[in-house]
Copies of this chain bind each other. A is one copy, B any other.
Amino acid sequence: MLSERVDEMDSKTKKRLQDKGWVFGDAADFLELSPEEARIIDLKLALRASIREERTKQGMTQAELAKAMGSSQSRIARIERGDPSASLDLLLKALMALGMSNKQISKLME
């Protein structure tokens, strides 16, 4: 599940994110991460993809989403780029601000 998503990325993006600390392949094989931490990273990858998807589908700019959820454009950009310094709290907040129900959100996490 993670691997397909990664394959969709151009390699430049991939490298940048790796430099930022993200792990590809299956995050589990990154030795300094506990299995729980690896699973959470995978989760975040799925959620951030959904954020961009939903936002653009709604014809919304990053700045608009930021305003809707009391954040800043730069933070949205970072979230969508995959900056690991984005909490699950913030990711869920974004999905909620995009109008998603708990059920829809939980579906993304299965």
Are A39 and B102 neighbours in the complex by a CB distance under 8 Å?
yes
> A89-B87, A102-B109, A106-B109 are contacts. A97–B39 as well, Cβ < 8 Å?
no
The reply to whether A92 and B34 form a contact with Cβ atoms under 8 Å apart is no
* A57: interface (CB < 8 Å): no
State which of B37, B70, B102 has its C-beta within 8 Å of the C-beta of A34: B70
Interfacial residues, chain A to chain B (CB-CB below 8 A): 34-37, 39-40, 43, 69-70, 87-89, 92-93, 96-97, 102-103, 105-107, 109-110
Known: A36-B69, A87-B88. 18 other contacts (CB 8 A): A34-B69, A34-B70, A35-B96, A36-B92, A36-B93, A36-B96, A36-B97, A37-B93, A40-B89, A40-B96, A43-B92, A87-B87, A87-B89, A88-B88, A88-B92, A89-B89, A103-B110, A105-B109
